Structure 1
Amino acid sequence: MNGLMIWLSDVFAPKARKVFANPWIDAVASTMKKVLPFILTGSLIFFYNVFRSYLAFLPDLSVIANFTFGLLAVFVVFIVTHEAMIKLVHGQYQINASLTAIAAYLLLCKPQVVDGVFQIANGRIGAAGIMFALVVGIYVAVVFHFYAKLHVLENNMALPDFVSEWINNIIPITITLGIAMILGNVLGLDFYQLIVNLFMPLQKGAQTLPGFIMICFVPVIFYSMGISSWVFNAVTTPIFMAAIAENIAAVANGGAPLNIATSEAVFTAALITMGGRGGTLPLNVLMLKSKSKKLRTMGKICIGPSVFNINEPLMFGAPVVFNPLLMLPIWINSIIGPAIVWLTMHFGFLNIPSKMIQVGQIPAPFSSVMITEDWRAVPLYIALFALYLVIWYPFYKVYEKQCMEEEAVK
């Protein structure tokens, strides 16, 4: 254990920090931090809705979530371009490039004008569009970055400064939107759908052990980089819905459910998503008693949502996102947890879900027993909690030491 912690602290962490210091990667990391208030606001509403589902007299606050969490892609495409311009030292372009990014993003979202009404599919501007927003934002930043390196009209005494500034914005704006127009309007390419299609092969073999692990693991890799796992809903939802429908039909016909890759097994049972994707509840518990004031405070703030398997506050507040010391254990948990759940269900040690209950905010192990209709889910929950805790512990302790050193300097 000591050897692992020394390696993490002295070898892995410094190299990882060097990689993440790259301006392009740093821009994405910084974007995820700056969009955090909107994510937390949406998460707060989702948390509130858990209680509202039992207390119908409470007012509906979904509109707040719709105009914060529901517009994340638009916020992200602006911020990532803005941050890239700052990291690349092109401060003169940070506002106009960011506004251009919004225009390019909306253009590439394949909008339609029907009876004078501008329409874009709602899912493309919310959390599911974050990955596409990052791609578009970086694309716009690349165009402005290379144009800035040309130093057009710099130190030109023949033109007033404001005229040079206009020209130096008009040209990259025109190039950026011109390329987007050709790709989206002339060639008719749907880049949002193309990105989604990159992950379509996951549909095949999802019910196998490797497939089940991949369908749980791949979203967590991107989630640990700040990209909402909701972006994978277009891929996973058809798989999960077809699978649970087959399970329901099999039981109705006197047979046994066979499909393990369902939303109920991954989310509702909360064995894989204990505290949220990556089994983050044990990390939150460790933080409650941390010697670091920052981690202890975040632990207290995040424990409520974590119990209800909402881990956005913890992911972005600890943070786990773009934190090399905490990214690795969440990846490990996202392989080991699904493997254990699949094996226990496959070999009959735990019932396979056969009811459609796609609510992931019910605390485990209550939800685990409810969805599997099997009390064996309780000892499995305890075992997985302990295993996740052991995996988190060495990485957490190194990060805790790092936080304490930073606090001592302040």
Structure 2
Amino acid sequence: MNGLMEWLSNVFAPKARKVFANPWIDSVASTMKKVLPFILAGSLIFFYNVFRSYLSFLPNLSVIANYTFGFLAVFVVFIMTHEAMIKLHHEQYQINASLTAIAAYFLFCKPQVVDGVFQIANGRIGAAGIMFALVVGIYVSLVFHFYAKLHVLENNVTLPDFVSEWINNIIPITITLGIAMVLSDVLGLDFYQLILNLFMPLQQGAQTLPGFILLCFVPVIFYSMGISSWVFNAVTTPIFIAAIAENIAAVAGGGVPVNIATSEAVFTAALITMGGRGGTLPLNVLMLKSKSKKLRTMGKICIGPSLFNINEPLMFGAPVVFNPLLMLPIWINSIIGPAVVWLTMHFGLLNIPSKMIQVGQIPAPFSSVMITEDWRALPVYVVLFILYLVTWYPFYKVYEKQCIEEDGVQ
């Protein structure tokens, strides 16, 4: 175990941090963070509509969701390009490149003009288009990046600065949109559908039991080594958003939701993330009555955030991070939780979420019932709490004994 921990801390974790610090990967991760307010704004409307379904006199605010959640792809392609220009140190292009990305995105979506009216499929600019928006953002960023490296008109003294700036924007804009025009208009390729088909196996794989467990398990492994799980939003957010959008559309069309791998099932319902990633609430409860002064104090400090499914204070304060006695149970719980949730939903023992509510800091089990719209979430919550507790207990007791000895030395 000591050899494994040494390898994880001195070899694996530093290399992983280096990989995630890559400007392209960092740009995608940063994009998912910065588009979150628009996702949450839409989520609040869906949350509000839960109450409106019982209180019909409340005003209809769905238009707000339509212009936040409904425009996610457009926001993402802009932010992705903007972030890439910053990370690649091409700040002079961050606005124009981002605006060009919006134009390129629309071009690739093959809109039509009928009787002077610009028409584009609504689904292509919303949540379903996030993955394509990331691809287009990377494409536009690559064009501007390679052009910037040519240093055209750099140190030119014969032209005014503003003229050089115009030229250095006109050229990459024209190249970017010219390529998009040839591919979409001249060759007639539907790149939106092509990219969607390309990533379909990933989307479908995430909805299987092994795929669902991996989506929940892998981020926790890195989280337990101090690497923020936010970096995985670049992969999980497009999958989760597209999945919940399909569930919403299915219910609106009189069907039933089928996608389990959604942010609502993983985070908002707070069954898998009970107290935070890895089901840490039972650990926090154990710490409240610890015989170790250190653990008891940390338990009292962390219980507030834990009730709202925020476990960073616990992860770094207990600590769980790089603690071999607590890393293993959090890994185990990150398999148990997703497996139980997927199986109960798959076999109809618990409703699959069909509303987009991604405010993950709603205390459970209130959030569990609200998100699933199913009172059966209560016994599922209790069962998972017990399973998490049983997993934590033996490892915690060994660690507690160690902490008590350290308290005695101090």
Interval containing the TM-score (normalised by the shorter chain) = 0.5 to 0.7
Which region of structure 1 is more displaced relative to structure 2, 77-86 or 338-347?
338-347
Gaps of 5+ in 1: none
Which region of structure 1 is more displaced relative to structure 2, 35-44 or 137-146?
35-44
The separation in 2 between residues aligned to 1:221 and 1:159, in whole angstroms, is 55
User: Do the aligned partners of 2:5 and 2:322 also contact (CA within 8 Å) in 1?
Assistant: no
Inter-CA distance 218–390: structure 2 relative to 1 (3 Å threshold): same
How far the C-alpha of 1:172 sits from its partner, in A, is: 0.8
The separation in 2 between residues aligned to 1:346 and 1:54, in whole angstroms, is 28
Inter-CA distance 365–160: structure 2 relative to 1 (3 Å threshold): closer
Q: Which residue of 1 aligns with 2:297?
A: 297
The separation in 2 between residues aligned to 1:408 and 1:61, in whole angstroms, is 59
How far the C-alpha of 1:143 sits from its partner, in A, is: 0.4
How far the C-alpha of 1:369 sits from its partner, in A, is: 9.2
Inter-CA distance 173–324: structure 2 relative to 1 (3 Å threshold): farther
The separation in 1 between residues aligned to 2:115 and 2:408, in whole angstroms, is 62
The separation in 1 between residues aligned to 2:169 and 2:253, in whole angstroms, is 66
How far the C-alpha of 1:52 sits from its partner, in A, is: 1.7
How far the C-alpha of 1:211 sits from its partner, in A, is: 7.1
Q: Deviations over 1:33-61 (max 9, x none)?
A: 33232222222222222222222222121
Inter-CA distance 13–50: structure 2 relative to 1 (3 Å threshold): farther
Aligned residue for 1:345, secondary structure, equals: helix
Aligned residue for 2:154, secondary structure, equals: coil
User: Do the aligned partners of 1:129 and 1:231 also contact (CA within 8 Å) in 2?
Assistant: no
The separation in 1 between residues aligned to 2:180 and 2:373, in whole angstroms, is 52
How far the C-alpha of 1:340 sits from its partner, in A, is: 3.6
Q: Deviations over 1:300-331 (max 9, x none)?
A: 99999999999999999999999999999999
Which region of structure 1 is more displaced relative to structure 2, 38-47 or 315-324?
315-324
The separation in 2 between residues aligned to 1:109 and 1:213, in whole angstroms, is 33
User: Do the aligned partners of 1:247 and 1:256 also contact (CA within 8 Å) in 2?
Assistant: yes
Aligned residue pairs: how many?
A: 410
Q: Deviations over 1:158-190 (max 9, x none)?
A: 322222222211111111011111222222222
Q: Which residue of 1 aligns with 2:153?
A: 153
Inter-CA distance 158–18: structure 2 relative to 1 (3 Å threshold): same
Which region of structure 1 is more displaced relative to structure 2, 240-249 or 330-339?
240-249
Which region of structure 1 is more displaced relative to structure 2, 43-52 or 255-264?
255-264
User: Do the aligned partners of 1:123 and 1:129 also contact (CA within 8 Å) in 2?
Assistant: yes
Inter-CA distance 69–221: structure 2 relative to 1 (3 Å threshold): farther
Q: Which residue of 2 aligns with 1:350?
A: 350
Which region of structure 1 is more displaced relative to structure 2, 64-73 or 169-178?
64-73
The separation in 1 between residues aligned to 2:265 and 2:134, in whole angstroms, is 30
How far the C-alpha of 1:194 sits from its partner, in A, is: 1.9
User: Do the aligned partners of 1:29 and 1:226 also contact (CA within 8 Å) in 2?
Assistant: no
How far the C-alpha of 1:128 sits from its partner, in A, is: 2.2
Aligned residue for 1:198, secondary structure, equals: helix
Inter-CA distance 122–86: structure 2 relative to 1 (3 Å threshold): same
Which region of structure 1 is more displaced relative to structure 2, 208-217 or 378-387?
208-217
Inter-CA distance 275–210: structure 2 relative to 1 (3 Å threshold): same
Q: Deviations over 1:199-227 (max 9, x none)?
A: 44479899975577689989999999999
Aligned residue for 1:199, secondary structure, equals: helix
The separation in 2 between residues aligned to 1:354 and 1:201, in whole angstroms, is 22
User: Do the aligned partners of 1:69 and 1:127 also contact (CA within 8 Å) in 2?
Assistant: yes
Which region of structure 1 is more displaced relative to structure 2, 366-375 or 191-200?
366-375
How far the C-alpha of 1:358 sits from its partner, in A, is: 16
The separation in 1 between residues aligned to 2:82 and 2:252, in whole angstroms, is 55
User: Do the aligned partners of 2:131 and 2:238 also contact (CA within 8 Å) in 1?
Assistant: no
User: Do the aligned partners of 2:108 and 2:184 also contact (CA within 8 Å) in 1?
Assistant: yes
Which region of structure 1 is more displaced relative to structure 2, 66-75 or 267-276?
267-276
User: Do the aligned partners of 2:39 and 2:358 also contact (CA within 8 Å) in 1?
Assistant: no
The separation in 1 between residues aligned to 2:386 and 2:33, in whole angstroms, is 30
User: Do the aligned partners of 2:183 and 2:189 also contact (CA within 8 Å) in 1?
Assistant: yes
Inter-CA distance 404–37: structure 2 relative to 1 (3 Å threshold): farther
How far the C-alpha of 1:390 sits from its partner, in A, is: 8.4
Which region of structure 1 is more displaced relative to structure 2, 271-280 or 176-185?
271-280
Inter-CA distance 204–8: structure 2 relative to 1 (3 Å threshold): closer
- Aligned identity (percent) is 90
Inter-CA distance 185–36: structure 2 relative to 1 (3 Å threshold): same
